Amino acid sequence: MKTPDAFRNAWTDAWRTLGVPEPAHALFEALLVRYAEPQRAYHTLQHLGECLDGFARERDSAERPAEVALALWFHDAIYDVQGHDNEQRSADWARQALLEAGTGPEIAGRVHALVMTTRHDALPVGADAQLLVDIDLSILGAPPARFAEYERQIRVEYAHIPPEIFEPRRRGILGTFLAREPLYLTPPVRARLEDQARLNLKQAIQR
């Protein structure tokens, strides 16, 4: 887990790289509060920290690194386990926050679009969208122990769904990712995670 100072430094760096004065501290705190909500088990500060660490590793692959970083900060800002518009609401918040911070509508619009790609309902287009999605899905290629923890965390978030409904739906979702050729669209991420992700997914589907 990233330390509070590490989160703060990553947040400050994103705005500095964007070339816009960092917004009031209340926005940063509001995001941390969101990621610590009690209904979350996977979509938490642990996941956000893993995404930020993954971005730091792959930063050179980004065309507009500050925009990718800020999209990661907001991509799960809204998370209602029974909602169907989490990405839309998160993207809208990101766009509003960037506009209020003084960015132009083009930048705010691009970040909004990046957040929307985390719906994972279509293959992302463009280097930054592909990088963002690869980072968000990097958990699929995690070491076996972390992947198993992730699977348990997802089940906790959907504890309200009976096993006879959850399990086939979950197999379907994992199967959709496994069917992608390739799963990861960014070459460095693919080289590092593709094989492990396929192994993790196959074993999870079999279970």
Question: pLDDT tens digits for 169-205?
Answer: 999 999 999 999 999 999 999 999 999 999 999 999 9
The pLDDT value given to residue 129: 98
Contact 72, 135 (CB under 8 A): yes
State which of 68, 96, 122 marks the end of a domain: 122
Query: In sequence order, what are the residues at sequence separation of 6 or more whose Cβ sits closer than 8 angstroms to the Cβ of residue 154?
Result: 41, 42, 170
Q: What is the pLDDT of residue 122?
A: 87
112 found inside a domain:
yes
Rounded Cα–Cα distance for residues 113 and 110 (Å): 5
In this structure, the answer to whether residues 53 and 7 fall within a common structural domain is yes
pLDDT in tens, 62-115: 999 999 999 999 999 999 998 899 999 999 999 999 999 999 999 999 999 999
d(CA 18, CA 11): 11
pLDDT at 135: 98
> Does 15 lie in the same domain as 113?
yes
Asked if residue 60 is part of any domain, the answer here is: yes
Average pLDDT value for residue range 50-73 = 97
Position of tokens 């096993």? 163
113 and 179 co-located in one domain: no
Region label for 132, one of left (φ > 0), alpha (ψ between -120 and 50) or beta (otherwise): alpha
The verdict on 20 and 118 lying in the same domain is yes
pTM for this model (two decimals): 0.95
Asked whether residue 130 is domain-assigned, the answer is no
Is 184 within the bounds of a domain?
yes
How far apart, in whole angstroms, are the C-alpha atoms of residue 85 and residue 20?
A: 29
Tokens representing 166 are 């959850």
Q: How confident is the model at residue 51 (pLDDT cuts 50, 70, 90)?
A: very high
One-letter-per-residue 3-state SS of 34-61: HHCCCCCCCCCHHHHHHHHHHHHHHHHH
Q: Are residues 105 and 154 in the same domain?
A: no
Q: How many residues does the chain have?
A: 207
Domain residues for 94? 1-122
| Whether 166 and 70 share a structural domain | no
Q: Are residues 99 and 18 in the same domain?
A: yes
pLDDT of residue 126: 96
* Residue type, position 138, single letter: S
Lookup: tokens for 123: 């293959």
